[in-house]
Amino acid sequence: MDHRVGIGYDVHRLKRGRKLMLGGIEVPHTHGLDGHSDADVVLHAICDALLGAAGLGDIGEHFPNTDPKYKGMASSALLKQSNQKVNDAGYKVTSVDVMIVAEQPKLQEYKPKMRFHIAFELAVDETRVNIKAGTHEGLGFIGAKQGIAAYAVVSLMSTRVMEQAI
C-alpha cells in the first residue's frame, strides 16, 4: 500500500485592520493575519502538508508571495488547487490533523465550521479532518498575542491502491 504523510507549518503576524481567516472561515477579532494572500495559517499549513506528502515541494514553490496574482487571494482557492495537484499526482487525502496555536481569540466554537470547510474543499468526509487549538502559555511572540501559528499533518493514499481495493 502506498501511504504518504506530510507535515506543514505556517505563522503570521497579527495586524489591526485585517480580517482574521482561519480554516477558511472568518473569525471575529480585533486583528487579522498579515500576509500576501488572506494569510490563513491553517489552510497554508495544510497546503504545505499536502504538497509535501505527494512529493510536490511546498506552498511557496506553487504560490509564490512575489506573484501579484496571489495578492489578497482566498487561501481556500490555494487549498483547492493544492488538492487538485495532489489528485493529479495520483493521491487522495485520507486524514488531516491541524493544531492552531493562538492566545486569542478562543477558537473552540469555530472548530466545527473550520472542519466542515476544510473537508468540503478537500472533498473528504468531515471525519477525516480534525482541528485542535491551544495557546503558547504566554511565551514568545504568539504568547504576546502578536501572531498565530498552525501545524498540519496530512496522510495520503495512492488512488491506484484505492481502486484495487474496490
Helix (H) or strand (E) holding 59: helix 59-62
User: Measured between alpha carbons, how far is 152 from 47 in angstroms, rounded to an integer?
Assistant: 9
pLDDT, residue 31, reads: 96
- The pLDDT value given to residue 28: 96
pLDDT at 164: 56
108: Cα within 13 Å, side-chain hemisphere: 2
- What are the pLDDT digits (tens) for 25-73? 999 999 999 988 899 999 999 999 999 999 999 988 998 788 888 787 8
Any bridge partners for residue 98, and if so which? 131, 152
What domain range is 37 assigned to? 3-165
Give the residues of the chain that fall short of pLDDT 70. 1, 161-166
> CA-to-CA distance for 118 and 116, rounded, in angstroms?
6
Count of structural domains within the chain: 1
Beta strands in 17-143, from DSSP E residues, in sequence order: 21-22, 25-26, 31-33, 91-101, 129-134
pLDDT (0 to 100) of residue 65: 83
Residue 47 contacts residue 86 (beta carbons within 8 Å): no
- What is the reported pLDDT for 163? 54
Q: What is the CATH number of the domain that holds 70?
A: 3.30.1330.50
pTM as predicted: 0.93
- For 99, the 3-state DSSP assignment is strand
